[in-house]
A and B are shown apart, each in its own frame.
Chain A
Amino acid sequence: MRRLECDDDARQALLALQAGVVDALLAPPGRPPSQWAPEGLKALPGIRGALPQALGTYRGHARALSQRALRSIYPRLRERMEAGAPGSFAAIAWSCWRHHAPVQGDLGDWGQALIGQLAEAQADGLPPAWTALARLEWALHRVERIADPVQDLGSLALLGRLPAAAVRLVLADHVDLHRGDDAAMRELLDLPPECFGTGPREAVIVWRDGWRGQWAALDASVLGWCEALREGADLERALQDAGPAFDFSAWLPAAVARGWLARVETL
């Protein structure tokens, strides 16, 4: 077999040409993408509209892909946006693609940049709750793609053997807490159908339940408890932080069944 090598000069030249093609596909609206195309690129000769039509076809595909990718990640956000202004979700998806193009071959990794884009657009009057909702939906999406979590249920035996100050409960990595500190987030606290704790809703917990991302609201005591665990507090300290309203005997079986608890550790 004859070995082929691409020297640095050739690679650099191709690098510029290839970047030029993608620049043309991501060109700002209102200007024909062919204006951005690198020299040496041509349409196949039977395409009636020549290079503008050829590049426009790729661009149309990318536009459709941007919507498809984000629609599956942000279904609730899309519903809200489309209810107010049909076509607005598609427009922001395409804008997100153009300004924050994917960098990886796995399109499931792309789309988080929409959150920042929504936040920036708040200055133009976009509701802050949309940004908060996008943050929650991204968390739900992310958690469904992580490596399948493993619980060490055998370690629960430590709870009966050691004093509370000598052990700590470790929350699973996939558990994500979203505090309802601002008005935007507070608007969303009623969305999850379920709430843990009997007090007013103060936060949303996102986690992986089986294959699905799930969310639930938390009251202040459960939130305090979860945050204490997240900070690595021992059991005694975490119970103090949670306060008297926290019901450990109700939380523990739920945390085991739902996969919130990764393991119990000795200190």
Chain B
Amino acid sequence: MRAGATLWPVAVGVGWRQPHYREVMATGAPGIDFLEVHTENFLAPGGATRQLLRDAALKFPLSLHGVGMSLGSAAGVDLGHLKRVRALVDEVRPGLVSEHAGFSRVQRAAGMAHAHELLPVPFSERGLALLATQVDTAQQALGRQILIENLSAYVAWEEDTIREPEFFNRLAAATGCGLLLDLNNLHVNALNRGLDDDAAVRDCAAWLDDIDAGAVGQYHLAGHAQVEGMVLDHHGGRVAEATWSIYRHALGRIGARPTLIEWDAEPPQLATLGEEAARARREQGAFERELIAPPPARPAPRSPSRRRQTQEAGHAAP
């Protein structure tokens, strides 16, 4: 029984996608410490995929990575969605639960819409307050800490006045959430801000230097693609060498955390994902043990009465 298993800081996992469902269940996932799935692909209350995840939870440590909670939405959090996620979390007891620092659900003139895009909230006081309120709501609804991932985004806001690492540090401090650092997202954003590869790596290293190491709970690594006039965060290839160097910096500065190889677009053979996982393990192995030790202790979570106050202040939509 692996459900509920805690992930070791040096654990390396892969994004488990449909082409590999059968293979992994039949032959296992050699060299892979945990499987991460997109939460929304398993939210249907019954059916084959739900059962698949129940079965997988008996064999593998799992991580649930959400793409649909829309925690940065000014239209509020969909409590029905939260309830379904809670049911799934209770059922498969994942080691990690994560979501994104973005919005997707909006109230348009024509009614509610969910864009199924990870769109950025402003890095401003009001953007931070909105996100923090709803991360709090989500954590209370799920009864556990969640990790919040930094986005890759092609757009930004004129009102972005808080530096991104500070924004995430303050979010973690205010809510007790953890941070999922997607190093490819950092890299893609730096490149799309017009930096060349060397400058982008330096920029990402500086970003990581400013992050509260104690709040970091996971890393994501993925591939990106240079297309006409921009860089696409396409999750459709191997991790770029420059992204690996950002990972090395994170290991040295922050320490080891469960690390995920994401490959969503046209996933390759499982063995190729295994090679990428092995590379992450080699990068970890180059560090002294004390440098990749578990994260430092964090401040105690907020008291229940204060949590209730925050919930009452929230504007969660039905």
Which residues of A are interface residues toward B (Cβ below 8 A)? 1-8, 10-15, 17-19, 21-23, 25-26, 39-49, 51, 53-55, 57-58, 61-62, 65, 101-108, 144-149, 211-212
On chain B, the residues within 8 Å of A12 by CB distance are: 74
Which residues of B are interface residues toward A (Cβ below 8 A)? 40-41, 43-48, 50-51, 66-70, 73-75, 78, 80-81, 84, 103-109, 111-117, 119, 121-122, 126-130, 132-133, 153-159, 170, 173-176, 189, 191-195, 228-230, 232, 299, 302, 306, 309-310, 313, 315
In the complex, what distance in Å separates the CA atom of A144 from the CA atom of B155?
A: 38
Asked if residues B130 and A104 are in contact (CB atoms below 8 Å), the reply is no
Return the chain A residue nearest B171 by Cβ. A4
Return the chain A residue nearest B104 by Cβ. A105
28 contacts between A and B (CB under 8 A): A2-B170, A2-B174, A3-B309, A4-B132, A5-B129, A6-B130, A6-B315, A19-B108, A22-B119, A44-B154, A44-B194, A47-B154, A48-B228, A54-B230, A55-B155, A58-B119, A62-B116, A102-B116, A103-B114, A104-B68, A104-B81, A105-B67, A105-B69, A105-B105, A106-B44, A106-B68, A211-B47, A211-B51
Asked if residues A44 and B84 are in contact (CB atoms below 8 Å), the reply is no
Given A25-B115, A102-B116, are A10 and B129 neighbors across the interface (CB < 8 Å)? yes
Give, as a whole number of angstroms, the nearest-CB distance from B154 to chain A.
4
In the complex, what distance in Å separates the CA atom of A14 from the CA atom of B193?
A: 24
Asked if residues A48 and B158 are in contact (CB atoms below 8 Å), the reply is no
On chain A, the residues within 8 Å of B50 by CB distance are: 148
Asked if residues A10 and B68 are in contact (CB atoms below 8 Å), the reply is no
In the complex, what distance in Å separates the CA atom of A58 from the CA atom of B309?
A: 37
Asked if residues A103 and B111 are in contact (CB atoms below 8 Å), the reply is yes
Given contacts A4-B128, A4-B129, A53-B230, 15 further A-B contacts (CB under 8 A): A4-B133, A5-B133, A15-B74, A15-B106, A17-B74, A17-B122, A44-B154, A51-B155, A54-B155, A57-B230, A58-B117, A103-B113, A105-B69, A145-B46, A148-B50
Which listed residue, A5, A39, A44, A65, touches B313 by the CB 8 Å rule? A5
On chain A, the residues within 8 Å of B132 by CB distance are: 4, 6
Give, as a whole number of angstroms, the nearest-CB distance from A211 to chain B.
4
On chain B, the residues within 8 Å of A51 by CB distance are: 155
In the complex, what distance in Å separates the CA atom of A11 from the CA atom of B107?
A: 12
Asked if residues B229 and A48 are in contact (CB atoms below 8 Å), the reply is yes
Return the chain B residue nearest A143 by Cβ. B47
In the complex, what distance in Å separates the CA atom of A5 from the CA atom of B7?
A: 33
In the complex, what distance in Å separates the CA atom of A22 from the CA atom of B118?
A: 11
Asked if residues A40 and B193 are in contact (CB atoms below 8 Å), the reply is no
Return the chain B residue nearest A144 by Cβ. B47
On chain A, the residues within 8 Å of B189 by CB distance are: 44
On chain A, the residues within 8 Å of B309 by CB distance are: 3
Given A46-B194, A47-B192, A148-B47, are A1 and B176 neighbors across the interface (CB < 8 Å)? yes
Given A40-B157, A46-B191, A105-B104, are A2 and B173 neighbors across the interface (CB < 8 Å)? yes
Given A57-B232, A58-B117, A144-B48, are A104 and B78 neighbors across the interface (CB < 8 Å)? yes
Asked if residues A49 and B229 are in contact (CB atoms below 8 Å), the reply is yes
- Output the residue of B104, B109, B230 with the most chain A CB within 10 A: B230
Which listed residue, B47, B80, B103, B173, touches A1 by the CB 8 Å rule? B173
Give, as a whole number of angstroms, the nearest-CB distance from B291 to chain A.
28
Asked if residues A1 and B174 are in contact (CB atoms below 8 Å), the reply is yes
Which listed residue, B109, B157, B175, touches A42 by the CB 8 Å rule? B157
Asked if residues A61 and B117 are in contact (CB atoms below 8 Å), the reply is yes
Which listed residue, B43, B75, B194, B310, touches A3 by the CB 8 Å rule? B310
Give, as a whole number of angstroms, the nearest-CB distance from B208 to chain A.
19
In the complex, what distance in Å separates the CA atom of A232 from the CA atom of B170?
A: 59
In the complex, what distance in Å separates the CA atom of A144 from the CA atom of B309?
A: 41
In the complex, what distance in Å separates the CA atom of A54 from the CA atom of B189?
A: 12
On chain B, the residues within 8 Å of A22 by CB distance are: 106, 108, 113, 115, 119
Given A6-B130, A23-B108, A44-B153, are A145 and B44 neighbors across the interface (CB < 8 Å)? yes
On chain A, the residues within 8 Å of B173 by CB distance are: 1-2
Asked if residues B193 and A106 are in contact (CB atoms below 8 Å), the reply is no
In the complex, what distance in Å separates the CA atom of A101 from the CA atom of B111?
A: 9
Give, as a whole number of angstroms, the nearest-CB distance from A267 to chain B.
30
On chain B, the residues within 8 Å of A212 by CB distance are: 48
Asked if residues A103 and B47 are in contact (CB atoms below 8 Å), the reply is no
On chain B, the residues within 8 Å of A39 by CB distance are: 158
On chain A, the residues within 8 Å of B299 by CB distance are: 1
CB-CB nearest 9 A-B residue pairs: A105-B68, A46-B194, A48-B229, A145-B44, A211-B48, A10-B126, A54-B154, A14-B74, A6-B129
Give, as a whole number of angstroms, the nearest-CB distance from A52 to chain B.
11
Given A2-B174, A15-B74, A46-B195, are A101 and B46 neighbors across the interface (CB < 8 Å)? no
Asked if residues A18 and B129 are in contact (CB atoms below 8 Å), the reply is no
